Amino acid sequence: MRILILSNGNGNYSTKRLVEVAEKRGHKVKVVKYKNAYPLIDRENIIMYKGKNLGDYDAIIPRIANSMTRYGTAILRQLEKSGTIPLESHWASQIEVQKNLVNAEEIH
């Protein structure tokens, strides 16, 4: 299985462990700094990363930081539209709702 991990990079421990376990089980894994990815406006469902088409993956594991929720979930939505399956359906909206609730509780 080809797995894409949307992360701030492969330097943090949880991302390293995800890669390690997935590769141990025979999966091909790519870690993408989602803040360096962007959708093409003139083409539907194409995500570019460092100037190249990101390509097709079987599954996505989102590891989106609170400070980049809106941008990270926008990239995740585009990947969902192209047919790549996140760990759970409707991940992008679930992530936004959860982080908005946490932010609202911190304000009060």
Among residues 81, 71, 88, 78, which one has the least CA distance to residue 34? 71
CA 49, CA 52: separation in Å to the nearest integer?
5
Confidence (pLDDT) at 92: 47
pLDDT tens digit string along 12-54?
888 899 899 999 999 999 998 888 888 777 766 678 888 888 8
Q: For a pLDDT cut of 70, what percent of the chain falls above it?
A: 72
Helix (H, G, I), strand (E, B) or coil at 19: helix
The predicted pLDDT at position 20 comes to 92
The total number of residues shown for the chain amounts to: 108
CATH at 52: 3.40.50.20
User: Could you tell me which residue, 11 or 94, shows the higher pLDDT?
Assistant: 11
Number of separate domains in the chain: 1
- The boundaries of the domain holding residue 46 are 2-107
